[in-house]
Structure formats: C-alpha cells, structure tokens
Amino acid sequence: MEGNRKLISPFRRPLCLAAAAPGGKAKLTHPGKAILAGGIAGGIEICITFPTEYVKTQLQLDEKANPPKYRGIGDCVKQTVQGHGVRGLYRGLSSLLYGSIPKSAVRFGVFEYLSNHARDEAGKLNSTRGLLCGLGAGVMEAVVIVCPMETVKVKFIHDQSSANPKYRGFYHGVREIIRTQGIRGTYQGLTATVLKQGSNQAIRFYVMTSLRNWYKVVTCKKVLSLITIAGAASVFGNTPLDVIKTRMQGLEAHKYKSTLDCALKITRHEGVRAFYKGTVPRLGRVCLDVAIVFIIYEEVVQVLNTVWKTE
C-alpha cells in the first residue's frame, strides 16, 4: 500500500541517503555541495511560492487604522490582478529571487559545516544537535542575506499599494533606499528577522535530521505529516515575529522606535489578532517551502555525489 512504502525519490533512491554509508558510519555532505544544492533548491522554491508570499505581505501591511484595504486573501488577489494583472502577484520577486539563492546556499552550507563538527564518533547527528545547527544556520542567513532581502521586498510590495509608486525596478529601488536611508535602510527589523529565521530553521532542521535518522522505516504518509507539522509549527510559533518584521521593514517603519515599540503599538491599536495577519497564505507558502526545498536539495546532493568526488 502507498502509505506503507519507503519514501523513494524519482531516481528510485531513498531520500536522505546521505545519512548513511557503508560500514554503518554516516556519510558527511561537503559544505560546497550543500551551498550549490541549497542555492538551486532555493531559487526553484521561491519562483513557485512567491504569490503566497506577496499576499501574506500585503495583508500584514494592511493596518486596521487605515482602514483595511483588503477583506481577506481572495480580495487581495482580486484587487491585485484587477489593478496590475497577474504579474502584480510577482511584484518584488526579483529581490527574493536574487536573495533566495544565496540565502539557501548560506543556510545549507552553514548547517552542513556545523553538523559535520557536531556529529558523534559514529558520524551520527542527533535531533537536538540538528536543532542547534539549524538555529546557527538561521541566524547566519538572517544577518548576511535575509534581512536586507526582506527589507527590499517589503518596501517594493508596500510601494505598489501606494498612490504613486516610486520604485521602477529592483536596482532603481535599492539605489533609492540606500540614497535616502543609507545601508541601515536595508537592515530594518534585524532583531525580529534573526528571531524569526533562527526559530524557523531550528524547527525545520530538527525535522530534517529526524527524517535522516529514521529514513529506513519512515513512510510517505509520515514524511508528509512531519513536513506539514514542521511548517505549521514554525508558522504558528513565529508569525507574530513575521508581522513585526514586515511592519518595521515597510515604508512607514519610521513610526516604530524598536522591535518592542512596534509590538506594543500593534497590540494597542489593532489587538492581538493583528499578530496573525497573513497566517493562512504564510502557512501554505512555508509548507510548500519545506517540502520543495527538502526534496530538491536531497536530489541535487545525490547528483553532485556522482559527479563531484570529495572523499
């Protein structure tokens, strides 16, 4: 039966095969392979899931006091397509595409580097150490890539909803942001971004490590369940941080003195429910993200192992 079969890749190899090697000792993934595979996986994933990221960001920027421009996910999609066409749902994609490739490269490269040093004498990485390595990878990607990338993306999306958009494209937008706000203008919401990415990757790599340790007995149904649980846990656990991050990176970020001030003002003026704006589209995006990146990453590593000998 389908639910009782081992998880098999399109090439008829068990996913997560990198977890084992002849003799019972775990086979390490070279950080260089992880960087390349992660970059490829990240680029493909963002092209598939960006419309959900766009809708999530618009809903999070839609403040109650304005009053709200959108009545929900469907209304946001409808207004965007009516005003800008289907291409409007991909506004800001360039900033994420340019950032997602190095983001995933840094994420997987740092994770593999840390995990290679965190394994026991048998070469095995337990789930707890996988979580800590994921935390380190998340913090690193947040500081190096995610914060400036997300700041530019949010400003682009926010700019489109204004009466007179001022950014004509990715490079023009980045030049304008740096010209008017300096480099600091691309690092708004850094604290919230570090907290969000650190917790995201800690949860995701905990699940990824567990799957690698369990692959001999894990079923397709269990894999999908664990991916869904990992995505849902990270979404419901840190969506408030995502909302704060989005607000502090928007065009009206000057209203907030700090991460704490932003949280207090949202609570005071919009209520606790505002911290969960965009949860549904973010849930869809994150679950797809985890599944797509996890599967593509493993497959690319398998291909690289055949053409790039590192042992």
What confidence tens digit (pLDDT) does each residue in 165-196 have? Answer: 788 777 888 888 899 888 888 888 898 899 98
Residue 238 counted as domain residue: yes
CA angle 184, 190, 191 (to 5 degrees): 140
pLDDT at 95 exceeding the cut of 50:
yes
Regarding predicted confidence, which is higher, 214 or 249?
A: 249
What DSSP character marks residue 272? G
- State the pLDDT at residue 144: 92
Q: Convert the pLDDT of each residue in 53-82 to its tens digit.
A: 888 888 888 765 567 788 888 999 999 999
Residue 168 counted as domain residue: no
**Structure token pair of residue 55:** 């809708």
pLDDT at 52 exceeding the cut of 80:
yes
- State the pLDDT at residue 217: 55
Q: Convert the pLDDT of each residue in 133-150 to its tens digit.
A: 999 999 999 999 999 888
> What range does the domain containing 218 cover?
188-277
Cβ neighbors of 112 (< 8 A, separation 6 or more) are 28, 29, 30, 31, 33, 34
Residue 199 counted as domain residue: yes
pLDDT at 151 exceeding the cut of 80:
yes
Residue 153 counted as domain residue: no
Residue 207 counted as domain residue: yes
Residue 272 counted as domain residue: yes
Regarding predicted confidence, which is higher, 239 or 215?
A: 239
Total number of domains constituting the chain: 1
- State the pLDDT at residue 239: 85
